[in-house]
Structure 1
Amino acid sequence: MTLLTVWNDNDPSTPELQTRDFDTIHDVLAGLGARFSRWELKELPENATQEQVLELYRAEIDAVNAEHGYTLVDVVTIEREDTEEYRAQADAARQKFLNEHQHDDDEDRFFASGSGVFYLHVGGKVHAVFCEAGDLLSVPKDTTHWFDMGTNPEYVSVRFFHDDDGWVGNFTGSDVSSRFATYDELASVSA
């Protein structure tokens, strides 16, 4: 189940809020300009292709595109494997998103399976949103944040963009992300 943890950005040891309540999560994130909702999950075929995932969620994707003007939608799939190649690729992918950054576009993600944590750094607070299958989160443009998929990631995520450039991060150079609970630590709370 989704977990929201909020800390003062100077005190990563003591959460000010930790909740799984949908309405509280929705309202706290709305106060930051972030959208949070849940979609009904649909069964993914084994080794689902991008086209299969997009077709399964066509109605929901079309509604988001119509409301928010997205023009590019894609799917990122990370399948867990017990190989050195997987571990190297997973670690490289994790490191790409683990440092604080922002975008010139909203960052919308729907988790069709698996999980990941978005950390929004706003107004002197860090809001960690442990997203699970069925969650849709929109991080507003220019919001400083980072993403942790954990040390052993596995997920299928639908991404939405306003232009064909896709994911472009503007990194802040801050080390704030290194001071807060990781995906793996929050997963143990979420279990």
Structure 2
Amino acid sequence: MAEIRIRNTNERIQGDVNVGAFLSGQSVIYEQWDISKLPAHLQGKFVLSDEEKSEILSTYDTEIRDLALRRGYQTWDVITLSEATPNLDELLKKFEDVHTHTEDEIRAIIAGRGIFIIKGSDDVGYFDVELEPGDIISVPENTPHFFTLMDNRKIVAVRLFVETNGWVAYPFADPTFQKA
């Protein structure tokens, strides 16, 4: 279950209903998938073959196609990050710059934990959305944000794209942003 931390007040928002209501108020889509559908041999596995990634996509095919139909996604994949990922620190450093995209950035967390840092409305400012397996989040296009890993530094996630070549990140310089 996702948890939110509002950075300028350190307020925490918990519980599916509260998290969903807050994110909806910030135009961020939040849903959940049944993570128990994932075959046991893939649960908690962070180094995946192409066949295992295909199995994840097949397991959640109905959910993926539902999102694609509702939101116009054309393609999807599975991303895995862990200590086994070559150049993980350099890759995370690239992720941790505030940026925007011309399409939604969506993640469906299958294993591990990740965090989106999102610029909310003027009265909220930046907030963190801590995600766990089963959480799905879609950050709207042109919304300043970035994604990184939690302390465990492991994640498996489904990503969906409108553009078949994936997202292009546009740097967003914001003097009000402070790394936590």
TM-score (norm 1): 0.81
Q: CA deviation at 1:175?
A: 5.8
Query: For the residues of structure 1 that align with 2:175 and 2:59, how far apart are their CA atoms?
Result: 39
The correspondence for 2:16, drawn from 8, 22, 44, is 22
TM-aligned CA deviation for residue 20 of structure 1: 1.7
Seen in structure 2, the aligned counterparts of structure 1 residues 152 and 176 have a Cα distance that, compared at 3 Å, is: farther
Partner of 2:149: 149
Separation (CA, whole Å) in 1 of partners of 2:108 and 2:19: 16
| Matched-pair contact (CA < 8 Å) for 2:105–2:138 | yes
Instruction: For residue 118 of structure 1, give the secondary structure of its aligned residue in structure 2.
Output: strand
Q: Deviations over 1:26-68 (max 9, x none)?
A: 0111111110011100334343532111001111101111111
In the other structure, the counterpart of 1:185 is none
Change (3 A) 1:105 1:99: same
Tell me if 1:33 matches 2:36. no
Give the count of matched residue pairs: 169
C-alpha distance in 2, partners of 1:56/1:176?
42
Q: Deviations over 1:160-181 (max 9, x none)?
A: 111112021001133655x243
- Please state whether the residue corresponding to 1:165 is helix, strand or coil: coil
CA distance in 1 between partners of 2:121 and 2:80 (Å): 33
> 1:151, 1:38 → 2: CA distance?
22
Whether the 8 Å contact between 1:109 and 1:136 is mirrored in structure 2 is yes
Structure 1 unaligned runs (5+)?
9-13, 182-191
Taking the aligned partners of 1:158 and 1:99, their CA distance within structure 2 comes to: 21
Residue 116 of structure 1 deviates from its aligned partner by 0.6
SS of aligned partner of 1:51: helix
> Structure 2 counterpart of 1:118, which letter?
F
Q: Does 1:43 align with 2:38?
A: yes
Cα distance in structure 2, aligned partners of 1:176 and 1:153:
27
Percent identity over paired residues: 27
Residue 77 in structure 1 maps to residue 71 in structure 2: no
Tell me, yes or no, if the aligned pair for 1:114 and 1:133 is still in contact at 8 Å: yes
| Separation of aligned partners in 2, 1:150 and 1:128 | 11
Q: Is the deviation greater in 134-143 or in 167-176?
A: 167-176
The residue matched to 1:129 in structure 2 has which SS?
strand
Unmatched 5+ stretches in structure 2: 43-47
| 1:97 corresponds to | 95
Letter in 1 for 2:99: H
Structure 1 residue 152 displacement after superposition: 5.1
